[in-house]
Amino acid sequence: MLACGRAYRSTMERKSVAMSPTASPAAKPADLPVGDRPITMVPDAALLPEVLPTDRLGVTGMPLPALRAELRRIDDVRNIGTVALVWVQSVVTIAATLVAIGVIRNAVAPVALAWLAMAVVLLAGVIMMGPAFARFAIIGHEAAHKLLFTNKRLNDAVGRWLVAYPAFVPLEIYRRGHFAHHRDEFGPDEPDMNLYVGYPISRVSFGRKLARDAIGVSGWKNLKPLLRSTLSGATRPIALRIVSAQVVVFAIFWAVGHPLGYLLLWLLPWMTSWRVINRLRAIAEHGGMERSSDRRRTTHHVRQSLLARFWIAPLNTGWHLAHHVDMGVPWRRLPDLHNELVASGWVVPALEYPNYRALWRALSSGDPGASQSR
C-alpha cells in the first residue's frame, strides 16, 4: 500500500523522483556476517520459480475469471462494521486516556509525581492511537480501490468523510497517485519513490529516519502542504473539506469538555506514532525492491502474526504481495489469494520473511558509509 499520509507531499508539491536503480546481486539473510549482508533487497532468481499459468492463475498470478469472481466479492455488511470498529477503537483509546489522566490529577500527590504519571499515560495514549490511524489509512486505501462498498457513491462518501478526511488523507489525490503506484511500481510515476529506494541502509540511518518520524518532523512535512493548500490552488476544495472534517472532530472533543484532547490525542499521534508505523509498514512492503513486471521483485512478503496484525499491518494489509498481484481483491480475501499463489508454487517458503523484525534487520544492514546522508 502506498503511504497515505504522504499524499499531499508527493502530489501537491509535485516532487520529481528518479527511477529505482536495478540491483543485480542476490539478497542474503540479515543474520549473516557483516561482509555477507545484502546489497539489495530483491530476491534471488532461484527463489522465483516460473510455474505460471495454472488452471486457476494467469501468467502474472492474477486469478482466472471463475476464481477472480469469487475472490472479488465485496462484503458490504461486514465493512460497515469495520468502519464502525475503527471509530470505536479510537473513542475507547482516547476516552481511556482522558479518564486515566483525570483520575491521576485528582488522586496522586505530590504534584510532580502526578504530572509524571499523567505524561506516561498520555504517551501511552499517543502510541495506542498509532494503530488506530493505521486502520483509518487502510480502510481509506480500500475505498481508494473502490472495494469498501459495492455502491460506488457510498464507497466514496464513507471513504472520504468517515475515514480519509478525519485522518488528513485527500482521498481523490491519493487514489490517482496510488493507481500510478500499482500500474508500475518503481516506475517514473511512482509517487513514493523516495520512501522505498536506497535500502538496505545502515542501522544509524534507519534509526535517524524513525527518530524524525517519532518527534513529528515527518508529520510536519506532510501537514504543511495541506495548510498551504487551504489558501489557493487547484487542491484547495479538497483541503478545505479535510479542514471541515477536522473542525467536526475538534468540536466533539470540545463538546465532551476536552478541547486540548484534539491536539494531544488526535493531531499529535497522527504526526508522531502513526508516522513511525507508516514508515515501518511501507518499507516492509516495498523497501529496496525494484521495477519489474514480476511482483515478487517489487513487493516483500512477511509472515503475519497477531501482534503484527494489530500494530503494523491490520486488516490483512500484510498480505501485500497478493494485493499487488490483483488489486481488485478486497482485503478480506487477500489471504485466500495468497494461499492460491503458494499452492501454485509461485510463492515459495524461502521468499517469506519469518517476521517484520527479520525484514527490518535486513533493511538496516547496509554499509554505514553509503547511507550517512539519508
**Tens of pLDDT along 70-109?**
999 999 999 999 999 999 999 999 999 999 999 999 887 7
What nine digits make up the cell of 292? 519489474
**Quick one: cell of 185?**
511500481
The upper half-sphere exposure of residue 3, i.e. CA atoms within 13 Å in the direction of its Cβ, equals 30
Give the domain ranges of the chain.
Answer: 4-8+43-371
Q: Residues 6 or more apart from 217 whose CB is under 8 A from it? A: none
Q: What pTM value is reported for the model?
A: 0.89
φ and ψ of 57, to 5 deg: -130, 145
Work out the number of other CB atoms within 10 angstroms of the CB of residue 166.
22
Task: Tell me the DSSP string of 324-348.
Answer: HH-TTS-GGGHHHHHHHHHHTTSS-
Give CB contacts under 8 A, 24+ apart, made by 173-176.
173/7, 173/8, 173/11, 173/12, 173/235, 173/238, 174/2, 174/4, 174/7, 174/11, 174/140, 174/144, 175/144, 176/11
Mean pLDDT confidence for 132-157: 98
Tell me what pLDDT residue 232 has.
87
pLDDT band of residue 332 (cuts 50, 70, 90) is: very high
Please report which confidence band the pLDDT of residue 14 belongs to, taking 50, 70 and 90 as the band edges: very low
Least confident span in 102-111, 112-121, 290-299: 102-111
Q: One-letter amino acid identity for 357? A: R
